[in-house]
Chain A
Amino acid sequence: MFKTLGIAALALALAPFASMAADGGKVNPSGEKLYKSSCVACHSTGAANAPKLGNKKAWEPIIARGMDEMMAVAINGRGAMPARGGTKADDAALRAAVEYMVSRVR
């Protein structure tokens, strides 16, 4: 499903993460909190084919598509993943959770 989307996004992708790293690892703690309350349900075990936390091979192509694409999935859902990961979290918290998951494969 990912194949139909964003090769173009690939180039864009690298910029935000470069800047994130340059911040000296500024991490929003609400990301880990949201991950551990909800996202963990699928992303810790790979349930329903979710990319597992810390699995570099699974995450590299996803990260390569960029934050906008990852946020689109986080907000709207895709496949077995429900919209907003099945939570009522706001965009900022979702973004922080995505950043947390990304940080674990870096």
Chain B
Amino acid sequence: MKVFRLCMAATALASVLAGGTALADPVDKLEHVKVELVAPPLVHAHEQATKAAPRVIQFRMVIEEKKVVIDEENGTTLQAMTFNGSMPGPTMVVHEGDYVELTLVNPDTNALEHNIDFHAATGALGGASLTIVKPGEEAVLRFKADRSGVFIYHCAPEGMVPWHVVSGMSGTIMVLPRDGLKDAAGNALHYDRAYTIGEFDLYIPKDEDGNYKEYDTALESYGDTVEVMRGLIPTHVVFNGKVGALTGDGAMTAKVGESVLFIHASANRDTRPHLIGGHGDWVWETGKFANAPEKDLETWFIRGGSAGAAFYTFKQPGVYAYVNHNLIEAFELGAAGHVKVDGKWNDDLMKQVAAPRPVTAK
């Protein structure tokens, strides 16, 4: 509780400091570009290395509270809160030195107050204290993206931050270096496609009979959910909103020879991504591109409250599993997806010398 008092003081101070924006602002004169966001795991079209001068990149996100099915096999539901209707919220891409200008809309069909805290931003609790919107309101926040990397954004309404976050309100912003990504030796790394994975630890209450409870509204789920949260043991851990979201028709795809950037975000809880049958060729597990990436990783580690990025060039076809390599969390609780890769098999890298057969005498 003492922490909250401290936060409130910081909020008040931030509000005062943000007051005088009426004067002419040189940033207003920069080129403004509107970008339409797309639903994860896709990432909106963007340049990697760019010759463009710093710009103001404008995004719009609409908050949507809704009941979602998080496990279709069992019909388990979550009273979710989302940015743009998806878990995670859409990934925004800009370049270092650009300004991000977000219009955050809270339609009057929602019940709760919301806001947004960008880990990429500086000041005012990440923008949270300047973006508090009641149902029926919107606010516009601009900040300078002056550090490269992948960064979390999330809702952070004072007094109920963890609930809004574990209910779905997080996403990623990727701030690319203006000359693109580099390996540890400074050679350019160009990816052919980027996927964004948001991992969510969920805390769904059970009734006396051990069945997951269903609620009419988000607020009716609050008291029970907080009890489960306090146990620190999630009931489900899912990628992109539900068990199996990134499998079957939802699987990620690639081709042999293609390079993929996997952006992995976890706003609340640690995770350890691993590509079964593949690697992280170059990984920024702390997600910040000014640091040299690590090479040849089997499993990497995303701290709760951060996003990381892994670059991998596929060398074999087949269905890969992309998982949280606490395998209980992956296969029992849901933190697993697939990458379907087309192309030609390479016998040099791997060959089945003898198919499974009865044990032969020596």
Contacts and interface: CB of A to CB of B under 8 A. Distances in A.
Nearest to A43: B159
Contacts of B158: 45, 47-48
A79 B137 CA distance: 12
Contacts of A42: 159-160
A44 B135 CA distance: 21
Interface string A27-60: 0000000001110111011111010000000000
Contacts of B345: none
B105 interface: no
A88 B134 CA distance: 20
A38 B158 CA distance: 16
Find the residue from A36, A45, A47 having the highest chain B CB count within 10 A: A47
B134 A41 contact: no
Nearest to A42: B159
B113 interface: yes
Interface stretch (B46-54, B213-221, B348-356): B213-221
Contact of B220 (A37, A48, A79, A80): A37
Contacts of A82: 111-112, 135, 219
Contacts of A87: 216-217, 219-220
Interface residues of A, number: 20
A86 interface: yes
A66 interface: no
Given A37-B224, A38-B223, A47 B216 contact: no
B157 interface: yes
A41 B215 CA distance: 15
A80 B111 CA distance: 8
Find the residue from A46, A79, A82 having the highest chain B CB count within 10 A: A82
Contacts of A38: 217, 219-220, 222-223
B157 A86 contact: no
Contact of B160 (A37, A41, A83, A88): A41
Interface string A11-40: 000000000000000000000000011101
A37 B216 contact: no
Interface in B148-191: 157-160, 163
Interface string B32-44: 0000000000000
A92 B158 CA distance: 30
Contacts of B220: 37-38, 86-88
B223 A37 contact: yes
Contacts of A79: 134
A40 B160 CA distance: 10
Contact of B216 (A36, A40, A88): A88
Interface string A58-92: 00000000000000000000011011011110000
B157 A36 contact: no
Contact of A45 (B112, B159, B218): B159
A36 B159 contact: no
A85 B220 CA distance: 9
Interface in B112-145: 112-113, 134-135
Contacts of B1: 45
B157 A37 contact: no
Contacts of B4: 45
Contacts of B222: 37-38, 40-41
A47 B134 contact: no
A55 to B, nearest CB: 13
19 contacts: A37-B220, A37-B222, A40-B226, A42-B159, A44-B159, A45-B1, A45-B4, A47-B157, A47-B158, A47-B160, A50-B159, A79-B134, A85-B219, A86-B111, A87-B216, A87-B217, A87-B220, A88-B217, A88-B220
Given A82-B219, A87-B220, 10 more contacts: A37-B222, A38-B219, A38-B223, A41-B219, A42-B159, A80-B134, A85-B219, A86-B111, A87-B216, A87-B219
Interface of A: 36-38, 40-42, 44-48, 50, 79-80, 82-83, 85-88
Top-4 shortest CB links A-B: A47-B159, A86-B219, A45-B159, A82-B111
